[in-house]
Amino acid sequence: MNITNEHEINKRKNTILSFFVKKSKADEVNEDESNEPSVNNESTELTLIEDSDGRGLPSQVPIHIEEPLNIQQYHKNDVGLFIQRNSISDEDKHLILTNVWVPPSNYKFPISEKNKKRGLRFQYKWLTEYNWLSYSELKNGAFCKHCIIFAKTGGINSQPLGQLVIKVLNEWKNAKEIFRTHSQRSYHQSSILDSDNFLNIYSHKKLSIIDRLDSERTKQIKSNRSRLVPIIECIILCGRQELALRGHNDSGSIYDCDNINQGNFRAILKYRADGDGYLKSILQKEGRNKFICPQIQNEIISVCGDVILKKIVNQVNDSKCFTVLADETTDISVVEQLALCVRYVDKNKNVNEDFLKFIPVQSLTGKNVADSILNGLMSCGVDCNYLYGQGYDGASNMAGHMQGVQAHVRAMYPKALYIHCAAHSLNLAVSTASNIKPIRNCLGIIEKLYVFFNTPKRNNVLLSCIENSDTDMKVKTLKRLCATRWVQRYDAVHDFVELFEFVLEALETISEWNDSSGSTTDANLLLKAMDSEFIVSVYVVKLLFSFGLPLCKQLQKEKIDLKEAVDLTKDIVSELKS
C-alpha cells in the first residue's frame, strides 16, 4: 500500500521536462519495422526559461515542419498537375495528349524511397517503349496520359482505378510487368481509341458522334425553317393589311377545296405557291406537317407579337423617359379590358405612341387599376424607373388625388406627373355645352330621325326623294350620333344638314300613308318637332362641332407636341369669340 502511494506521488512530481528526457532503447520504436518513411530531424538544443513558478520551460521543441509544395517550380505541362481534377477542359486534354512534359535525355530521375536499398530509378527508355507513358516530376512517378483523361473508372464493378490513373506509380521493382499488364487492360485500350477520336474532332478532321447522330436532325431543322419562311411572310402580310386569316375551311389540302372560301391566308399562300416550286411541292405532299393549321398560325402570330413587343420595350428603355397611357373599355364578351400604351421619344428624336397589351381587370378601383398598369409594364419588360408621365381620362377612379390611379402610381414613382387627356377634356366641354335645353332637344330629334328611317320601307322613301332630285348627293343615309365621343357627332349632324330638305319631303310623304303601324303618327310628330328653334340649334351645333372636330383630331395625333396643341387651341378660341 505504501509502495503504491509512493509511486503515485513520484509520478505526480514529474515536471514538463520529463517529456523531453531521452528514452531508453527498450522504450523506442524500431523505425526499420515501421511502414512510415523515416524523418531525419536534427537534434535541437533546448533553452530553458524560468516562469513565475520557477519551473523551466523549453523555448524550442524539435518539431519537423514540412515545407509547402511550390507548384510553380515545376513545368506547366507536368502531367501531375492534372491528376484528380473533377473535370479537364478540352484544351488541357489536347495539351496532355500532344504536348505533355517529357524529361530531357540527361534528366536524373530520383531514387524511389521504397526501393532505396536497391537504388531503382525510372528509366528514360520506358517513355519510348510505352508511348502512352508519362513521367511527372511533381509526383516523382509515372502515369498513363490516356487513362487519366478517359478512364477514371473501369476496375471491378466500375471501381475507381489506382496506379497509373489516379495514383502515381513510383515503385520500379516490377515496373515493366505493371506496364505490360496495363497495356492489355480493356479500359486502357478504350482510352486510346477515345484519345484518337478526341484529337480528330479537336482538329476538325471529323464530326463528333453526337454531331454525326444529329446531322439528320440538323437537316430536318433547316428544311422546316425554309418551309416556315413563306408561311410567316403570308401571316405578316395579312396582319399589316388587317385581313382576317380564317375562312370557311381551315383544314385539308389547299388544292382540294377550290369551291370553298379558305380564307385570306390559305388563298395568298396558294397564289404564292404558283411561282414557288419548292413551296408548291410542300403543299402538295401528303401528310400533316405543312405548318398551316390554325394552331400554328396562332403560334406564329403570338411569336410575331413577342418580337414586336420586345422591339418596342427596348426603344422605351433606351429612351429613359416615357409616359404611360391607359383607358378601359368593355369588350363583346362583357369583360373590362384595360388598353395599355406608352409614349416616348426614340433615339432619332421621333415621338412614338405604341400599344403594349390588353389587361383584363376585375375591379375598377384606383388601387387595382394602378397595380394592373404597373404589373403590365413590368411583365412586358419596361423599366418603370423611367416613368415620368401618366395620361388618363378624368374619371374619379383614374384622376382622384387620394385614391385614384394617378395617386397610387405617384406614391411609387413620384416623378410620374399626371396629365388629364386633352381630347377627353375637349369632349367633356362639348358634352357640358350640349346640356343646354335647345341643343339637347336638337340632338335628341336627330337621333330619333335616324331610328325612324332605320327600316327598309321608310329608308326607301328617303332614297327615292334623293334620287328624284336634280342634286347629285354623295350622302344617302342618316348616321347615328356617337354615344361616347361628342365631338365625333359632327359627321351625323353634317349629314343631317345635307339631307335636311329630303328628310322633310320623306316625312311629309310618310305622314300621308293610311296604315296602322304608327309610321304616320311618328312622321307628323317629327315634322312638328322640326321647328325654327330646332333649325337654329342644328346650325349652331354644326358650327361648334366643325371647330371642335379638327382640334380633337389634332389632339389625338401621335406627333403633336404641347406648343402646337396650345397654338391650335388659342386659334379656335379666338375664332369662336370673333
Residue with C-alpha cell 363583346?
Answer: 332
- Model pLDDT for residues 483-521, shown as the tens digit of each residue: 777 767 888 899 999 999 999 999 999 988 887 678 888
Check residue 88 and give its pLDDT: 87
182 close to 164: Cβ distance less than 8 angstroms:
yes
Residue of higher predicted confidence among 326 and 66: 326
Distance CA 248, CA 264 (A): 11
- Above 80 in pLDDT, residue 52? no
- Above 50 in pLDDT, residue 179? yes
Distance CA 218, CA 207 (A): 13
User: CA-CA distances (angstroms) from residue 272 to 94, 242, 244?
Assistant: 53, 19, 18
Check residue 212 and give its pLDDT: 64
When mean pLDDT is compared across 80-89, 124-133, 303-312, the lowest value belongs to 80-89
- Above 50 in pLDDT, residue 458? yes
- Above 70 in pLDDT, residue 531? yes
Q: Across the chain, how many H-helices and E-strands are there?
A: 21, 9
Confidence of residue 366 (pLDDT cuts 50, 70, 90): very high
Dihedral of alpha carbons 489, 490, 493, 494, sign: negative
E strand intervals along 347-416: 351-360, 387-392
Q: Hey, how many other C-beta atoms are within 10 angstroms of the C-beta on 64? A: 8
Query: Of the candidates 506, 533, 544, which has an alpha carbon nearest to the alpha carbon of residue 522?
Result: 506
Confidence of residue 82 (pLDDT cuts 50, 70, 90): confident
- Above 70 in pLDDT, residue 569? yes
Check residue 213 and give its pLDDT: 66
In the chain, where are the structural domains located? 71-202, 213-292, 316-420, 428-577
Looking at residues 547-564, what average pLDDT do you find? 83
Three-class secondary structure assignment of 255-314: HHCCCCCCCHHHHHHHHHHCCCHHHHHHHHCCCCCCCCCHHHHHHHHHHHHHHHHHHHHH
Residue of higher predicted confidence among 485 and 165: 165
When mean pLDDT is compared across 300-314, 345-359, 442-456, 472-486, the lowest value belongs to 472-486
- Model pLDDT for residues 471-489, shown as the tens digit of each residue: 888 888 898 888 777 767 8
According to DSSP, the residues that pair with 325 across neighbouring strands are 341, 391
Confidence of residue 71 (pLDDT cuts 50, 70, 90): low
Extract the C-alpha cell encoding 161: 482505378
Distance CA 235, CA 244 (A): 10
Check residue 451 and give its pLDDT: 92
- Residue 163 DSSP class: B
Looking at residues 397-411, what average pLDDT do you find? 92
Chain-wide mean pLDDT for the chain?
Answer: 81
Check residue 360 and give its pLDDT: 94
Which distant-in-sequence residues (6+ apart) come within 8 Å of 382 by Cβ? 313, 316, 317, 322, 342, 356
Which distant-in-sequence residues (6+ apart) come within 8 Å of 313 by Cβ? 356, 380, 381, 382
Confidence of residue 257 (pLDDT cuts 50, 70, 90): low
Q: Hey, how many other C-beta atoms are within 10 angstroms of the C-beta on 501? A: 13
Residue of higher predicted confidence among 9 and 303: 303
425 close to 391: Cβ distance less than 8 angstroms:
no
- Model pLDDT for residues 280-302, shown as the tens digit of each residue: 888 877 666 678 888 889 999 99
Residue with C-alpha cell 403560334?
Answer: 299
Q: Hey, how many other C-beta atoms are within 10 angstroms of the C-beta on 305? A: 12
